[in-house]
Amino acid sequence: MQPKDGYKILFVCLGNICRSPMAKGLLQQKIDTDVHFVDAAGLDHYHLGEPPCDLTMEVCRKHGCIPRHRARLLRRSDLETFDRIYVMDHQNLEAVRRMATPEQMEKVDLVLNEVFPGENLDVPDPYMNPGIIDTVYQLLDAATTAIADKINRGEL
């Protein structure tokens, strides 16, 4: 799918089946997707082409959010295409930094810095710890609300 004329936002996590598709689905509910474009990508090839994991779908459905997504890898071209790239944790941040030019690094940040500026907190990975999925949802809901507010004010 081609990016649109508004803001282009990308969420990145390791496998692209839990956190980043959840964030994508949440943000898509909060902004005008006829103007803005939201996507998600991963850094690991193990789940390519798969939909979000059952755990993510279950918690999202519980809150009325249905992420429509198929796992894909982060591409170097994404670093040029997207206006903002939000990563879920420090491992993702380091991987993206290795791919990015110095100019592109200005658009990359930890997603929770939108809620907790400068605290550089990780969104925990629920893949191996399913008991934290509700916490992950709450964190990403708050972060995507903050991002949506900035988009809607034209401040991103």
- 3-state SS class at 40: strand
Residue 126 lies in a domain: yes
Catalytic residue among 39, 78, 89, 125: 125
Q: Is 13 a catalytic residue?
A: yes
Catalytic residue among 18, 19, 65, 141: 19
> Which pair of tokens denotes residue 134?
């509700």
Q: pLDDT over 90 for what percent of the chain?
A: 74
d(CA 134, CA 51): 19
- 3-state SS class at 73: strand
- Of 17-26, 51-60, 87-96, 97-106, the range with the lowest mean pLDDT is 51-60
d(CA 147, CA 112): 10
pLDDT digits (tens, 9 = 90+) for 63-115: 988 888 888 999 999 999 999 999 999 999 999 999 999 999 999 999 999 99
Residue 111 lies in a domain: yes
- 3-state SS class at 47: helix
Q: Is 125 a catalytic residue?
A: yes
Residue 46 lies in a domain: yes
Residue 1 lies in a domain: no
pLDDT digits (tens, 9 = 90+) for 117-154: 999 999 999 988 889 999 999 999 999 999 999 999 88
pTM > 0.75: yes
Residue 156 lies in a domain: no
Cα→Cα distances 87→4, 5, 42, Å:
21, 23, 10
Residue 2 lies in a domain: no
Q: Do residues 40 and 11 lie in contact, with contact meaning Cβ atoms separated by under 8 Å?
A: yes
Task: Output the domain CATH number for residue 44.
Answer: 3.40.50.2300
**What is the span of the domain harbouring residue 121?**
8-151
pLDDT at 1 > cutoff 60: no
Residue 3 lies in a domain: no
Residue 61 lies in a domain: yes
d(CA 154, CA 4): 15
pLDDT of residue 3: 47
Secondary structure string (H, E, C) spanning 130-155: HHHHHHHHHHHHHHHHHHHHHHHHCC
How many distinct structural domains can be found in the chain? 1
Question: Which one-letter amino acid corresponds to residue 31?
Answer: I
Question: Which one-letter amino acid corresponds to residue 27?
Answer: L
